[in-house]
Amino acid sequence: MKAGIFTVTIEKIVDMGVQQTRHFKLVFDPSVNFDFDAGQFINIMVPETPEHKALKRPYSIASPPDWKGYLDLCWKRIEGGIATNYLWQLKEGDKLQIQGPLGRFTVKQPLPKTIVYISTGTGIAPFRSMIYNLLKKGAPCEIWNIFGNRFDEDILYKEEFEDWAKEHSNFRNVFTVSRPKTWKGENQYVQHMLKKYIPDPRDKHIYICGLTNMIMEVQATALEMGFAKEQIIYEKYD
């Protein structure tokens, strides 16, 4: 679908974790048929204020294409951030202008035997869309979700991913928490999880999403392990 500009209504706002992260459900007008590929993003149009000009910022679509009529977003408030502080003061029922769908961070064909998704924080957003979509379509590959966070409470969509893993024997989560409180699971960085769980690079694609530092570290580890550049696909948030 060609990108356009749409007005959406914020139907639901959910506070997630401890890091000032919010989930938005954005509903389209019933006459709109918004079609996109899992992994794509939209721009949020931030109106002009006395402090800044009108601007746009990209946010990954966190829901899969076949949840029709709405989009989920998952975003973190940044101190002093223009777009996220604009979003922070919005309430359920408010309207928002978006532009999309945009981006090429989508599932690469032909599918390999194994797909490894690696993210930290809100970098999980496009993977919620891609993973659900692949599982729903019965994709014949093994799917891993390596998801790193600082604190126990920050594992976004944890129960949902756990439910998907119970329902699909080809899907596995590796949650890792770097500053655990009561968490007893993995506690090393995501690149260590890649080494531990995916030692053999053959017939695999790695998708990475989040901040540049993390992406560069995971990529360096993957290359060291023998992955080729073509097997590593990423989306930088900063």
Q: Which residues bind ligand FAD (CB under 6 A)?
A: 41, 57-60, 74-76, 78, 80-84, 103, 122, 125, 211, 235, 237-238
Q: Would you say 61 and 72 are in contact if contact means Cβ atoms under 8 Å apart?
A: yes
The smaller minimum CB distance to ligand FAD, of residues 80 and 93, is found at: 80
Query: At closest approach, how far in Å is the CB of 170 from ligand FAD?
Result: 26
The smaller minimum CB distance to ligand FAD, of residues 6 and 86, is found at: 86
Specify which residues 76 forms β-bridges with. Answer: 21
Query: At closest approach, how far in Å is the CB of 132 from ligand FAD?
Result: 15
Q: E-assigned strands of 111-153?
A: 114-120, 142-149
Q: Which residue is nearest to ligand FAD (CB)?
A: 81
The rounded Cα 194 to chain-centroid distance in angstroms is: 18
Reduced to 3 states, what is the DSSP secondary structure of residue 70?
strand
- φ, ψ for residue 183, nearest 5 deg: -60, 130
The smaller minimum CB distance to ligand FAD, of residues 55 and 225, is found at: 55
Query: At closest approach, how far in Å is the CB of 39 from ligand FAD?
Result: 10
The CA-atom distances, in angstroms, between 164 and each of 178, 206, 219 are 24, 20, 27
The smaller minimum CB distance to ligand FAD, of residues 122 and 219, is found at: 122
Query: At closest approach, how far in Å is the CB of 122 from ligand FAD?
Result: 4
The smaller minimum CB distance to ligand FAD, of residues 19 and 170, is found at: 19
The three-point CA angle 73-79-81 to 5° equals 60
